[in-house]
Amino acid sequence: MVYAVIMAGGSGTRFWPASRKQSPKQLLRIAGQQTLLEAAVARLDNLVARTETLVVTNHSLVAAVRELLPDLPPSAILGEPAKRDTTACIALAASLLNKRDPNATMLVMPADHLIKPIEEFQHAVQQGVELVNADPSRLVTFGIKPSYAAESFGYIRPGNSVSTVENHEDDTAFEVHG
């Protein structure tokens, strides 16, 4: 079964002054009526049931997230015991899901991305799930073609083997994406 893990623990410091400690980027209405977190959950419609969705957030934001997402069971909103970034967030969710379903397939996604069109995202996820179902040892990563070279991001080399670019020159992003 496919479970969604939405990472919503960021403090939004790079989005200051719009975001604050108790109102980080994922809780802001940036592009429309929904917060970025609400939009992330909505992107899962027809892909993952609400009962198979987990939101991992900062422990101080649990109440706000529960209020924002009343369709999710309260147990689906996890408060991180300490801020430890992406790997710890995924490890926490993986540990909990492994106890629930040792054969779980995890779809891990950030809460603070604006993704359009939704139909293309959903189609890509469906294709990724099919790949994993055919070979459960696979790791599928989604990305976009960069519009500019940014030193704060790593880049994905498309293909069957895993390859990333962490340190790059100014125009490497355009060469990497294929």
Tell me what pLDDT residue 132 has.
95
Same domain, 59 and 108: yes
Domain hosting 176: range is 143-178
Same domain, 153 and 134: no
Mean pLDDT of 76-88: 88
Tell me what pLDDT residue 134 has.
95
Same domain, 151 and 122: no
Tell me how far apart the alpha carbons of residues 61 and 25 are, in angstroms, rounded to a whole number: 12
Q: How many CB atoms lie within 10 A of CB 32?
A: 10
Tell me what pLDDT residue 169 has.
55
Same domain, 37 and 107: yes
Q: Note the pLDDT tens digit of each residue in 132-170.
A: 999 999 889 888 888 888 777 777 777 777 666 665 554
Q: Note the pLDDT tens digit of each residue in 6-25.
A: 999 876 666 666 666 667 78
- pLDDT mean across residues, the chain: 85
Taking the mean position of all CA atoms in its chain, how far away is CA 32? 19
Q: Strand 53-58 to strand 77-80: parallel, antiparallel, or no bridges (unpaired)?
A: parallel
Percent with pLDDT over 70 in the chain? 84
Same domain, 62 and 85: yes
Tell me what pLDDT residue 175 has.
47
107 has which bridge partners?
Answer: 4
Same domain, 166 and 104: no
| Angle (CA) 118 7 162, round 5° | 80
Tell me how far apart the alpha carbons of residues 37 and 118 are, in angstroms, rounded to a whole number: 14
Same domain, 11 and 49: yes
Which DSSP symbol is given to 76? G
Tell me what pLDDT residue 55 has.
97
Tell me how far apart the alpha carbons of residues 1 and 55 are, in angstroms, rounded to a whole number: 17
* pTM score, whole prediction: 0.85
